[in-house]
Chain A
Amino acid sequence: MSGAYFQRDRDWHPPALTPGYKTSVLRAPRQALLSMPTTPSEETGPVFGHDVLGPLDNDLIRNFAKDGGEAIGQRIVVYGRVLDENARPVAGALVEFWQANAGGRYRHKKESYLAAIDPNFGGCGRAITDAEGRYAFRTVKPGAYPWPNGVNDWRPAHIHFSVFGHAFAQRLITQMYFEGDPMIWQCPIVKTIPDPAAIERLVAALDRHETIPMDSLAYKFDIVLRGRRSTLFENRMEGN
C-alpha cells in the first residue's frame, strides 16, 4: 500500500468564489470543504486502454474533416508530458482536449459568436500518455473570442484539457494558453488564479526545435497531477 495523495494547495488553485468571473458567484460553495485523508475510493481510478483510441483521435486537423479536407488555420503541434508532483511520469493517462476553431468559434448548438464555423473542424481530440508520460496532438491554433461577462471581455486563445491520472483524487480540468499572447493577462478566467507564477504554468512555450519544417509550429505543454506520499517500508521509502 502506498500513502495518501499530497494535500491540494488551494491557494495555488483558483478559489471557488471569483466575482471577476461572474458565473462563479452563484456556483461557488460558501461552506468550508470537509477535509479527509484520501481512502482507496480516491486512491484508485479508472484506466483507459490504448484500444479506445482511433488513428485520428489526436489529429484535430483531420478527425472531423470531410472528403480528405483539412481544418483551416495555423497548423500547430501540441506536445508534452503528464507528471506528478514527485516529477515522475504518469503513464497511461487519458488526456482529452477541446477548443474553438481558428476564428474563435466552437461547434456547439448554444454557441452564438458570429465567427464562421469551419465545416472541417470538430474541435475535440484525445490521447493516452506513453511510458514516459508523453502525449502529442496536431491541431490549428484556436482564435480568441468574446464572451458575456464584462461588456467587452475576450478569452485569449486557449485549449481546454481534461486529465485522468492513476487516481480519482488526481482528476483535473484546466486550460492551455500560448506564449506571447497579451490577451492572457486581461482575462477574468485566467485571473481567477491568484499567483502569476501559477498562471505561467498554463502558458505553453513555442518550441522552435520541435516545429515541423514547412508544416507546423510546436508548443510544449507539461501537466502536473497530484503526487502521492511514500510509505516507510523496512529501511526505505516506497510505494510510488
Chain B
Amino acid sequence: MVQRLDYLKESPSQTAGPYVHIGTNPNWVEITGVWKDDLGLVLVGPETVGERILVEGRIIDGSGALVRDALVEIWQADAAGLHNSPTETRGTADPAFAGWARQPVSDADGLFRFETIRPGRVPFSGGGLQAPHVTVWIVARGINLGLHTRLYFGDEAEANSVDPLLNRIPDPVRRATLVAPRTERDGMPVFTFDIRLQGDGETVFLDM
C-alpha cells in the first residue's frame, strides 16, 4: 500500500437544459422582481479604456439549424492585457471594464452580440505572448459539459501567426474556425464568430 492522495473529484457536469435562463437571466424570461438586473449584460461604460468593437455570432447544430436556447459567456483581458480578477497577478486591470459578460441567444434571430473592447495580449503559460483573444463558453440543452472555445480577431494576422494555441492546429480550415472575420457597421468594427457544434466547419473546442 502507498500513502493516500486525498484529492476530491470534480462534480460531474450535467446539461444546463432548456431553461438555463431562468437561473441566469430571469428578467429576460419575464421572471421579474426577484432581482433588478440580470448579471453580465453590459461590459463597456464611458470610462472604459480601449477600442470599441462588436462581437456577434450564431450557434449552429449538426443539421445546420440555429441553436436558440443557449447561454454564451465571454471572458477577456482589458486593453492592456490584464484581467479584472483577484487572481490576476501581473497588475491592476481597468476598473471600468469587468471583462466578463453573458447573453442568452435571442429567440428571434439566434444571435448573441457583445459590445466590448479589443483585448490586449496575454502571456502564454511558459512564456511568449498570445494573440488578442476572447474566451468563449457555451451551454445549452443537449450540451453535457460546457464548451470552451476562443475568438481571435481577423485583423490581427501578424499576432495570430505566432499564437501558440492557434499554432497547435495544423489544419488551416480548422484553425480558421477560431478567427472571426472583421466587417464594419456604423464605423464600428464587427467580428462575426459563428460557432458550429458539429460537422462541416466544426469549431475547435478546447480541453484546457
Contacts and interface: CB of A to CB of B under 8 A. Distances in A.
Contacts of B84: 46
Per DSSP, chain B at the interface is: loop
B12 A171 contact: no
Given A34-B165, A124-B31, A160-B23, A45 B85 contact: yes
A18 B14 CA distance: 12
Contact of A41 (B18, B22, B122, B141): B122
B197 A224 contact: no
Interface size class of A (residues with CB under 8 A): 35 or more
A109 interface: yes
Nearest to B59: A27
A50 interface: no
A27 B35 contact: no
A183 interface: no
A30 interface: yes
A150 interface: no
Contact of A106 (B19, B67, B77): B19
Contact of B12 (A24, A36, A166, A202): A202
A27 B143 contact: yes
Interface size class of B (residues with CB under 8 A): 35 or more
A225 B8 CA distance: 9
Interface of A: 1, 4-5, 7-10, 12-16, 18, 21, 23-31, 33-48, 52, 54, 56-57, 63-64, 83-87, 96-98, 106-111, 122-126, 160, 162, 166-169, 171-175, 189-190, 192-193, 198-199, 201-202, 223-227
B2 interface: no
Contacts of B87: 43-45, 166-167
Contacts, number: 272
A189 to B, nearest CB: 6
B7 A26 contact: no
Interface string B155-191: 0000000000100110000100000000000000000
Given A35-B207, A160-B23, A12 B10 contact: yes
B16 A44 contact: no
A40 B122 contact: yes
A191 to B, nearest CB: 11
B4 interface: no
Interface string B11-30: 11111111111111010011
